[in-house]
Structure 1
Amino acid sequence: MTAFENGSGSDGGSGSGSSGARSPLRLSRRSLVSAMGVAAVGFSLQACGGGKGGDGDKLNFYTWDTYIGETTLADFNKASGVKVQTSYFSTNDELFAKLKAGNPGYDVIVPSNEFVTRMRQADMLMPLDLAQIPNLKNIAPEFLGQDYDPAPKHSVPYTWLVTGIGYRKSRVNGTPDSWKWLYDSDLYKGRIALLSEAADLIRLGAKYLGKSLNGIDAATIKQVEEMLIRQKPNIKTFHEDNGQDLLLAGDVDLVMEFNGDIAQIAAEDPDIGFVVPKEGSLLNADTLAIPKGAPRPELAHKFINFLLDAEAGKHIAETILYPTPNSAAKALMPESYRENPIIFPSGTGMDNSEWGKFEGPEQQRLFEEAITRVRA
């Protein structure tokens, strides 16, 4: 996975560490928005793709909470005259369900890579006109042409992320560099928090067992289920991606979380660490896409192009501390971001990591049924 190591030109998901230009707010891919800030200077209509909107123009953006630069939306408004109205979802399933019932008026959405596949198969995404997104040239080549959208035709990369273990250094014995400490040990009994999403739990359990996180058979699903049932007395909670808050507050000492989320709290607390377990983990990307039925597709393309601008991408990265696939934006960031080992992890764990693939609703159903039994 050398394309994702330090200096790779890519941007990512949930690590720890500081960019040096970081916002004083602690933000999370799925936490409550505290503030959006005021407009910065220096953006032009070229970043928007040209064409100024009228005073009444607006665009509806459906995304993860606090997953944008503090001033990005105000900057776009200043450059284009278009006001961005933002709504939030907490899981990809919520996003999918909302749009499956019919697009209520969203122009741009932020699905994760596997849901790009799922939404493409369900004919829920508009093909992009890449001629209207010239800033796509800023995206590092290794993030284009992935299996979830090989052209690309329906999405462009926004961030990337890797799931790992966030931990409090003073409370653990060395570096917890194996999924064993979350799945198969009572050493940190009552001090462990796992993500609640069924696919993550099954897949990462399969990695611990030495198997691929794609193509998991029924026997392996059952094996992971039984392991989690045995481990359940040692688990404090299954969290909704607020694990970084639990870790920062001292409620747990080990947490399954994304590198970007841990990066945010590590910037506040030097006792926080992050590791991608040696068995490997799950790589994901969050993307920008236009849902079918979008009322303002031309403005949607302008907004996507703006977000891929180098300066706009820099402001996003320095706020959310996720790794960016925008190599032009990354080049503008300080060394403390570009060389941060939580934002851009490397080593055996990354070498053994894999991109997740959407393998159909039946596989997802088996994952969810297994975790329902675990949590019952």
Structure 2
Amino acid sequence: MNLSLTEEQMMIQDMAKKFAESELAPVAAELDETQDQTLFLNNLAQLTELGFMGLNIKAEYGGVEAGTVAFSLAITEIARACASTAVTTSVTNMVAEVIQAVGNEEQKQKYLPKICSGEYKAGAFCLTENDAGSDPAGMKTSAVLDGDEYVLNGSKLYITSASFADIFVVWAVTDATARKGKGISCFLVEANTPGITVSKPEEKMGQKASPTNEVNFNNCRIPATAMMGKENKGFGVAVGELAGGRIGIGSLALGIGLAAMDYARAFITERKQFGQALSNFQGLQWKLAERYTDLEAARLLLMQAAYTKEQGLPFGKAASMAKLFAAEKANIACYDALQLMGGAGYIKEYPLERMARDVRITTIYEGTSEIQKIIIARELLSEV
């Protein structure tokens, strides 16, 4: 694998970095404190204008067609400044990729340009349920065919951007008699469809500016043409797209970890104890060496997974390895960075308090670390 970035990839990375530094970083603490949706949506709109909501979408549908490596680089840079903005960007890209991968031509022509242009503020990925989180095949939301319409009933939990998303990708059981995971289909549901109610945003520990909601479907009627892909074959679509989403979340975790360590590194070169800078103490130097080594290894795993996906090769194991390692090491990096800063790291005046909260969820959503280990082990054993 050639680890050198192309000119386009470097341009996208640089554009994301400049936007994050100039527009996102200055308001990240405010967004965490106030959850100002107007400000948040304005930032998303600017990112959309720059092409960041269709990074891996074909140009004919309004996308940038830059590939998965560029997507990973962009999410990392955005997350360095604002994890809330990064997760919304990542999920909207994932929704667009689902439509591009399994939607028919009419669906792609209708919805992808709206996502890439910003006509749709965001997309939402409706998979998780109360009793179907790490085990999504156990979902209970149903879609029953009635004439030329499907009737949706059920609830989805922890849905990113549901408050303002204009399009939902929804998974529902279409054959209740099928074996677990075999009777599930995938649908495109417009947010203004009668029968949909979205709860108030959850009160979260971190990534507060990005709303997370429960979405309820009560006799929600959608046209039969809203189905994406083949009937009863939707679970495989979910599994495949979650693998791609893991590259996004791993990249997000990497960005938070790098931002935390960069801030702490600068802090210990300025703060003095015992008559000298903290950075002169070997114990703290070793923490820097260990954490930056971890984060560099995470970056390489993410680049390998992104490159493999971009080449059209099987990438599920690589994505799970990258997400597992990046999320776990970023959590350690944030807590070590906070420790390096001592009491100052625990004060909201400094960004480490927010970063430590923001990074925690990365070992949970898009598949917990424990689920990633199961996936990796299953792949390894299947190779024997």
TM-score when normalising by structure 2: 0.24
- Structure number with greater CO (CA < 8 Å, separation at least 6) is 1
